Chains A and B, each alone.
Chain A
Amino acid sequence: MAGAGARPRLAVWKFASCDGCQMSILDCEDELLALTAAVEVAFFPEASRAMAPGPYDLSLVEGSISTPADLERIRRVREESAVLVTIGACATSGGIQALRNATDLGELSAAVYPEPSYLDTLATSTPVADHVRVDAELRGCPIDPRQLLELVTATLVGRKPQLPRHSVCVECKLRGTPCVLVGDALPCLGPVTQAGCGAICPAFHRACYGCFGSMETPNTSALAAELARLGVSEREIGWAFRGVAGADPAFAGEAGRHDG
């Protein structure tokens, strides 16, 4: 970490993503000025024209690895960073763009771009941890700002961040939200999805779509069987698991068992 008296140096990096997770930093309106007083924002192009070279004490990495250039860049980021934390579904599981991993890329490019030969892209979109060592991760599409502040605070003082690995179901119980799976037969992924969002979707009378990825030891096959019993079609079960965190290994594995 930085020497005595110096503020820790923060860097924020973007790979393939929508920008929403680094936007969550700027969405901490009440804490933003306190945060920028506690750390030196050394590299955060989205927020500042001043881009100081490394090394950095803490790097927050948004986005997935999907081009040859980005594969090189993430290795350099790792070399320059004492602590590297991935933020969001793209960085932690490959993101929604990883849905292409199961598709033929040539066909996909041709569907979007008139001249696919101009593009330089890898066949897959993969999480950062597939390529370099990652010290901690924040799940979510997007990440939760409270979890972000907890993680940054914990990192700065050198303690382990309090990030639950239990399911969204626990958060529904804490909120007092009636179960949308049991009560309304909605295809809710809450029982297998990691907590952290505050169980927003069931509180809004809709099924959790798993944007925080899989919880610790998820029983996806039991959930899929329950969804089938409720009348959800095989195709819809596949879609449910193949969502914004669809490349999460547990979700991708379950989705693969429902391709009809």
Chain B
Amino acid sequence: MTDDPDGRRAGDRRIDVPILARVEGEGALHLVVEGGRVIDARLRIFEPPRFFEGILRGRGFTEPVDITARICGICPIAYQLGAAQALEQVCGTTLDAGIDRLRRLVLCGEWIESHLLHIALLHAPDFLGYASVVDLAADHPEVVETALRLKKLGNDLVRVLGGRPIHPVSVRVGGFHHLPARSELTGLLPELTWGLDAMADLVRWCASFEFPALEEPYEEVALHHPDEYAMQDGRIVSSGGVDLAVDRFAEQFVEFQVPHSTSLHSRNVDGRPYRVGPLARYNLNGGQLSPRVRALAAEIGLGPVCANPFKSILVRGLEVVHALEEAMTIVEAYRRPARPFVEVAPEAGVGQGAVEAPRGLLHHRYELSADGTVLGARIVPPTSQNQGVMEADLRAFAQRHLDLDDADLELRCEQVVRNYDPCISCSTHFLRLTVDRR
């Protein structure tokens, strides 16, 4: 290698993406290449800290459900359900029959709208070389119209159960504030029936994309439920053999802070990063997807294990089909329970809850005093947990594609991060790429 007049050697590069687009929240990418080797790959998160865990202290035990929803405008229900579950555990609450199905149904709505947002508006434009869904719609109007109609269907499910799609108002400790009439839910059946085929076609369309190779060996972590594809509850399991009740989360997974991020990172106790989200769920629980979904997976050539994060768009699509089927089953069986909630008296103690948010495992822990005052709260969102594997993927991918020019490398690196549908608002904040080639 020869030095150039600025002292930079061939093979030294620096790539900066100051604002990472089409992610929820604000962050940046920074890549440093020295002598043809990637020596640093960072996802910088500088979303302003909002201190939720501090704000919650001293509040009443019925309040975290509505307060923690405000952590994320895309997956508020996951927060509401995780908080309710943890607080119900502290208070020893037993929910009435039927409430669990409705919680699963409202989470199906959130998975549908959040996954459609990512598939069509945030992720698909990358594969086809468009800057945004607006440009995508100019060439593929029917695909975008179908995707928006499916997204609206997810939002409609949330609206019927929760009043509005963003920060819905019905989940509470002990159940729901309000239960819909059967006719309000069955009114959605024709659209759900349409959605099953429309979504399957959308998945087939996505399967025609070209997927760059990238398969890194990470431990994968998700909830597992013995009877169904885990969403609103279950045990924490991993590809590394972890199998724990949700209240033992902290024994296995550790949060720590790095200077370049206002989002805490997570590692397993061995110090290695781990992956949560659609790929982890599919790889750990895929056998519990419906026969229709498994047949569609086989049709598009997705085996029982999918380790390529670029293909997460397909797994999200399969999960939407599954959520649509689940929603139909729950709606058809729905009879309004006798009462919307059980009265919950506060108790002193610690309770924990875990939910599969669209982006992956979300864990809550609360400590209450005997009068129901929140003494402490700890919330671990999926994007915080995935920061380690996003950076490891960046490093691995960039190392193999240093032949790309800066513009292409930048786009691909952004896509590597968008594969995880990072919610930076959740994890705290926003994203930028810098590639530094020295």
User: Which residues of A line the B interface, CB within 8 A?
Assistant: 14-24, 26-27, 29-30, 32-33, 36, 41, 44-51, 66-67, 69-70, 95-97, 99-100, 103, 107-109, 111-115, 118-119, 121, 125, 141-142, 197, 200-201, 203-206, 209, 211, 235-236, 239, 243-244
Query: Which residues of A have CB within 8 Å of B76?
Result: 18, 20
Question: Could you tell me if B19 and A67 are in contact, using CB atoms closer than 8 angstroms?
Answer: no
Residues of A within 8 A of B165 (CB): 27
Interchain CA distance A18-B54 in the complex, whole Å: 17
Stretch at the interface among B194-202, B257-265, B315-323, B344-352: B257-265
Given A46-B22, A51-B21, A118-B257, the answer on whether A239 and B132 have CB atoms closer than 8 Å is no
Given A17-B425, A23-B166, A239-B63; A50-B131 close (CB under 8 Å):
yes
Shortest distance between the CB of A193 and any CB in chain B (Å):
13
Near A by CB (< 8 A), chain B positions 154-212 give 155, 163-167, 169-170, 172, 177-178
Q: Give the Cβ gap from A98 to chain B, nearest Cβ, in Å.
A: 9
Contact among A24, A66, A103, A204 with B54 in the assembled complex (CB-CB below 8 Å): A103
Chain A proximity of B288: nearest CB distance (Å): 30
> Are A113 and B24 closer than 8 Å at their CB atoms?
no
B25 near A49: Cβ-Cβ < 8 Å: no
**Contact indicator B169/A48 (Cβ below 8 Å):** no
Contact indicator A19/B131 (Cβ below 8 Å):
no
B48 proximal to A (CB < 8 A): yes
**Assembled-state Cα–Cα distance A48/B19 (Å):** 11
Instruction: Determine how close the nearest CB of chain A comes to the CB of B124; give it in whole angstroms.
Output: 13
Q: Are B54 and A112 in contact (CB under 8 A)?
A: yes
Contact (Cβ within 8 A) A142 B164 = yes
Cβ of A49 and Cβ of B169 under 8 Å apart? no
From B132, B169, B172, A50 is in contact (CB under 8 Å) with B132
Known contacts A18-B70, A51-B19, A118-B257: does B49 contact A204 (CB below 8 Å)? Answer: no
16 contacts between A and B (CB under 8 A): A16-B50, A20-B72, A29-B151, A46-B23, A48-B133, A49-B21, A97-B51, A109-B51, A111-B57, A118-B259, A125-B50, A201-B163, A201-B177, A205-B177, A206-B178, A239-B60
Cα separation A143 to B333 with both chains bound (whole Å): 34
Tell whether B134 is near chain A: CB-to-CB under 8 Å: yes
Count of chain A to chain B residue pairs whose CB atoms are closer than 8 Å in the complex: 189
Q: Is the CB of A47 within 8 A of B155?
A: no
Bound-state Cα–Cα, A22 to B166, Å: 11
A29 in complex: contacting residue of B20, B52, B155, CB < 8 Å: B155
Q: Which of B141, B149, B177, B376 contacts A204 (CB 8 A)?
A: B177
A36: chain B residues at CB < 8 Å are 134, 137
Nearest CB to that of A239 among chain B residues?
B60
Instruction: Note all chain B residues with C-beta closer than 8 A to A203.
Output: 163, 178
**Residue contact B169 to A201, C-beta cutoff 8 Å:** yes
Beta-carbon contacts under 8 Å, B49-96 to A: 49-55, 57, 59-60, 63, 66-67, 70-74, 76
Tell me if B117 is interfacial: C-beta within 8 Å of chain A: yes
Extra A-B contacts (6), CB below 8 Å, given A33-B148, A41-B134, A109-B51:
A48-B131, A48-B134, A49-B414, A111-B53, A206-B177, A235-B60
Report how far A109 CA is from B49 CA in the complex, Å: 9
Assembly CA distance A218 to B150 (angstroms)? 41
CA distance A67 to B49 in the complex (A): 9
Q: Would you give the shortest CB distance from B179 to chain A, in whole angstroms?
A: 9
Residues of A close to B25: CB separation below 8 A: 14, 19
Nearest A residue to B131 via CB reads: A50
Please pick, from B46, B54, B164, the residue contacting A100 in the complex, using a CB distance under 8 A.
B54
Decide: A100 near B178, CB < 8 A? Known: A46-B24, A47-B22, A48-B132: no
Which chain B positions have C-beta within 8 A of A45? 19-22, 26
CB nearest neighbor in A for B66: A209
- B71 / chain A contacts, CB cutoff of 8 Å: 18
Complex Cα–Cα for A146 and B54 (A): 34
For residue A254, give the distance in angstroms from its CB to the closest CB of chain B: 17
A204–B70 touching, CB < 8 Å: no
Whole-angstrom distance between the Cβ of B31 and the nearest chain A Cβ = 17
User: With A26-B121, A96-B67 as given contacts, are A236 and B49 in contact (CB-CB < 8 Å)?
Assistant: no
Measured in the bound complex, the distance between the Cα atoms of B88 and A86 in whole Å is 37
Report A-chain residues with C-beta under 8 Å of the C-beta of B59.
239
**Distance, CA A188 to CA B151, complexed state (A):** 32
A49-B73 in contact (CB<8A): no
Contacts of B73 in A (CB 8 A): 17-23, 142
Chain A residues in 8 Å Cβ range of B26: 14, 45
Closest to B117 in A: A26
Known A119-B49, A204-B163: A46·B155 in contact at CB below 8 Å: no
Q: How many Å lie between the Cα of A20 and that of B426 in the bound state?
A: 11
| Pick from B164, B257, B425: contact of A115, CB under 8 Å | B257
Q: Does B148 lie within 8 Å of A29, measured CB to CB?
A: yes
Q: For residue A100, which residues in chain B have a CB less than 8 angstroms away from its CB?
A: 51, 54-55
Contacts A27-B155, A27-B166, A204-B178; A20 near B74 (Cβ below 8 A): yes
A152 to chain B, nearest CB (A): 15
Quote the shortest CB–CB distance from B214 to chain A (angstroms): 20
Q: Which residues of A contact B52 (CB under 8 A)?
A: 97, 112
Bound Cα distance from A32 to B152, whole angstroms:
12
Does B110 count as interface, using CB distance less than 8 angstroms? no
In the bound assembly, the distance between CA atoms of A200 and B134 in angstroms comes to 32
Contacts of B22 in A (CB 8 A): 45-49
Q: How far is the CA of A94 from the CA of B423 in the complex (A)?
A: 21
B165 to chain A: closest residue by CB: A27
* A142 / chain B contacts, CB cutoff of 8 Å: 73, 164, 166-167
The answer for the CA separation of A209 and B172 in the assembled complex, in Å, is: 14
